[in-house]
Amino acid sequence: MKNFLAGMMLCLLFLAGCGGGSGSKQVVIFTSTEDFRTEHMQQLLDEKFPDYDIALQFLNTGNHAAKIKAEGTQTEADIILNLETGYLEGLQDVFADLSSFDTSAFLPELVPASKKYLPWDKSSGAIVFNRQKLASLGLPAPASYQDLLNPSYKGLISMPNPKSSGTGYMFLVSLINAWGEDAAFDYFDRLAENILQFTTSGSGPVNALIQGEAAIGLGMTLTATEAINTRGAPLEMMFFGEGAPSITTGMAIIAGKENRPIVRDVFQFAMTTLVREDKELYCPEPVFKDQPNNVANYPRNISYADMTGVYDLAKKEKLLERWKY
């Protein structure tokens, strides 16, 4: 009997330390940030909360949103970071009210009236290219979207797929707003003939450039800048006349999880230290009032494209049904 009771006590103690109950030391965070940003966040979290078990799980934008939508408040995640604002708008019923947190440091236009999520970042897209690789092939750097249709670039261009990547979708919307829907889709049909690969994530084109698989990428400004600064990649960026496509992302707590003190602690740290360090080191495009750009080689004074409707989920569903790649 003593052995049986001792075994039962051990089981109960084990169960009490597992899962997401109020006494648990575990916090699960879903994020769509690139590896280098995720690794830095994990380091900061481990240093700040050595007694907590904090797990950062990467999901690309499309899978991130689909998982939260399918699982709702029963998801294993406690906190989500870096999910595209359009998806956040459609998932607000799943999120906790964040009114009890001080949001005054953020740009007010980026904080929704519902206070169901807060801004994480604003990120732009750029035409990224390797001038050395182009020169070795005897090819000029492109100066416009029309230049990318040059048959000489066949198999040398990489672009994120709008169906799985927020970066790819923002390029699509920017050209729809600039040229009209039919003209934009006709353009991408023609561009597809030169595409090496439609990648599943926004960082894919820059990775293809670094690996020498592509010469030109429709990629993320922050990913290209990071590759230049930390890997010495011989990359350059330009923004065509239509302007830089851009998108915002945000962070939230899953409804019901906000009552756990450990989750509140981690989210408070995320919305202050994590997001500020991320802007300081990687993505300085403004989400805070009077936010400086201290990142070496990060473009200044970016002229943004018209992104009207980029967060309209009904419109997005319609446009992605038309996208065939």
Task: Please give the backbone phi and psi of residue 85, each rounded to the nearest 5 degrees, phi first.
Answer: -60, -35
Let me know if residue 9 belongs to a domain: no
The helix/strand/coil state of 318 is helix
Of the candidates 233, 191, 196, 193, the one whose C-alpha atom is nearest the C-alpha of residue 213 is: 196
Let me know if residue 199 belongs to a domain: yes
Tens digits of per-residue pLDDT, 139-192?
999 999 999 999 999 999 999 999 988 899 999 999 999 999 999 999 999 999
Tokens 């090496």 -> residue: 196
Q: How far apart are CA 127 and CA 216, in angstroms?
A: 7
Let me know if residue 292 belongs to a domain: no
pTM of the model: 0.79
187 and 174 assigned to the same domain: yes
304 and 223 assigned to the same domain: yes
pLDDT of 313 reads: 84
128 and 186 assigned to the same domain: yes
Let me know if residue 13 belongs to a domain: no
The helix/strand/coil state of 137 is coil
Let me know if residue 8 belongs to a domain: no
Torsion of CA 305, 293, 106, 243, to 10 degrees: 0
Let me know if residue 140 belongs to a domain: yes
Strands 118-129 and 216-220: antiparallel
Q: How far apart are CA 279 and CA 295, in angstroms?
A: 9
84 and 139 assigned to the same domain: no
The CATH number of whichever domain residue 234 belongs to comes to 3.40.190.10
Tokens 């750009």 -> residue: 293
Q: How far apart are CA 173 and CA 179, in angstroms?
A: 10
Cβ within 8 Å of residue 307, ≥6 positions away? 170, 173, 174, 177, 245, 246, 247
104 and 253 assigned to the same domain: yes
Strands in 22-115 per DSSP E: 26-31, 53-58, 79-84
178 and 167 assigned to the same domain: yes
Handedness of CA 110, 111, 112, 113 (dihedral sign): negative
pLDDT of 3 reads: 46
Greatest extent of the chain over all pairs of C-alpha atoms, in Å: 83
Q: How far apart are CA 245 and CA 242, in angstroms?
A: 8
Q: Which residues pair with 119 in a beta bridge?
A: 250
28 and 73 assigned to the same domain: yes
Question: Which structure tokens are listed for 27?
Answer: 């916090």
Strands 157-160 and 195-199: parallel
Let me know if residue 295 belongs to a domain: no
Structural domains of the chain, count: 2
pLDDT of 22 reads: 53
Number of separate helices (H) and strands (E) present in the chain: 12, 9
In which domain, by residue range, is 256 found? Answer: 24-122+247-281
Question: Which residues of the chain fall below pLDDT 50?
Answer: 1-19
Handedness of CA 50, 46, 101, 60 (dihedral sign): negative
Question: What SS3 string covers 265-295?
Answer: HHHHHHHHHHHHHHHHHCCCCCCECCCCCCC
Q: Do the beta carbons of residue 75 and residue 57 sit within 8 Å?
A: no
Question: Which structure tokens are listed for 75?
Answer: 């998801």
142 and 79 assigned to the same domain: no
The helix/strand/coil state of 125 is strand
275 and 312 assigned to the same domain: no
102 and 113 assigned to the same domain: yes
116 and 224 assigned to the same domain: no
Q: Do the beta carbons of residue 168 and residue 202 sit within 8 Å?
A: yes
Q: How far apart are CA 66 and CA 206, in angstroms?
A: 25
Let me know if residue 1 belongs to a domain: no
pLDDT of 101 reads: 97
Q: Which amino acid is at 253?
A: I
231 and 313 assigned to the same domain: yes
